[in-house]
Amino acid sequence: MAQEDRGRLNLHAEFVLSSPRVDECPEWDIPEYAFIGRSNVGKSSLINKLVGRKGLAKTSGSPGKTQLINLFKIDRGTWVLADLPGYGYAKVSKVMRGSFSTMIGRYVRERKNLALVFVLIDGRLDPQQADLDFLKQLGLWEVPFALVFTKADKVSGSVLMKNRAAFEKAFMEDWDELPPWFQTSAQTGYGRDKLLAYIESINLQLRESGPLT
C-alpha cells in the first residue's frame, strides 16, 4: 500500500475556460502542463488530489467524463493546468472519439506555452497499446512528456514494479531512453509532492530562459 505524502498545502486554483477548440484558449506566456490518459485511468481524481481541491476536475464512474479542454490557473497564475479528454475506450460515438483525437492533436501541437504533457498510465495493468501508440505520436510531434503511473494504492508494490517494468520494456522498443516518471495515488496523495516539485523545477528553468511564446 502506498504511503501518503505530506507536503504542500492546497493550491489556489482558478477556472479559466472549457472549450473544444484550442484557438479559443487564451494566449499567454504562463507555462502550461497538460494531463491526459486513457479513459478510467483516474485523471480527474489525481488532478483534484494534486491541487488539493475536491471537484475541481469532474469525476465519474463512467469513462469519458472529460470532453473539453479545461484550463485552470494554479498558484495565482504561476502555471496552468490543462485537463484534456481521455484517449482510448470511452462510451461515446466514433464521431465524438474522432473529434477528441483531433482536439488533442491540435492542442499539443499548437499550444505555444505548453511546457509538458503528463501522460497517465494505469499502474494496475500490463502495457496497453493505446498508451504506447499515444506516446509514439507525441514523439513524432516532438512534444515533451513525462509518465505518471496511477492507482499505486490499488495493488501491491510487487505488482506495481512488475507492471512498470513491463511497460518500460515495451516503451524501449521504440525509444532510446525513458522519460521522467512518477508513481502516484489519488487516494493517499502518494507522489503528489514529487510531481509538484518537478513542475516547480521546470517553471524555474523557464523563468531563467525567458517567455514561452
Across all residues in the chain, what is the average pLDDT?
Answer: 88
With H, G, I as helix, E, B as strand and everything else as coil, classify residue 119: strand
pLDDT at 58 over 80: no
pLDDT tens-place string over residues 194-205: 999 999 999 999
Kindly report the CA angle at 50 between 49 and 55, in degrees rounded to 5? 50
Greater model confidence, 206 or 93: 206
SS (H, E, C) 128-171: CHHHHHHHHHHHHCCCCEEEEEECCCCCCHHHHHHHHHHHHHHH
Domain that holds residue 190: 20-209
pTM: 0.90
What pLDDT does 68 receive? 87
In a domain, 15, yes or no: no
pLDDT tens-place string over residues 7-32: 567 899 999 999 988 999 999 999 99
In a domain, 165, yes or no: yes
pLDDT tens-place string over residues 102-149: 889 999 999 999 999 999 999 999 999 999 999 999 999 999 999 999
Question: How many separate domains does the chain show?
Answer: 1
What is the average pLDDT across 22-45?
A: 93
What CATH number did the domain enclosing 35 receive? 3.40.50.300
In a domain, 5, yes or no: no
pLDDT at 98 over 80: no
In a domain, 14, yes or no: no
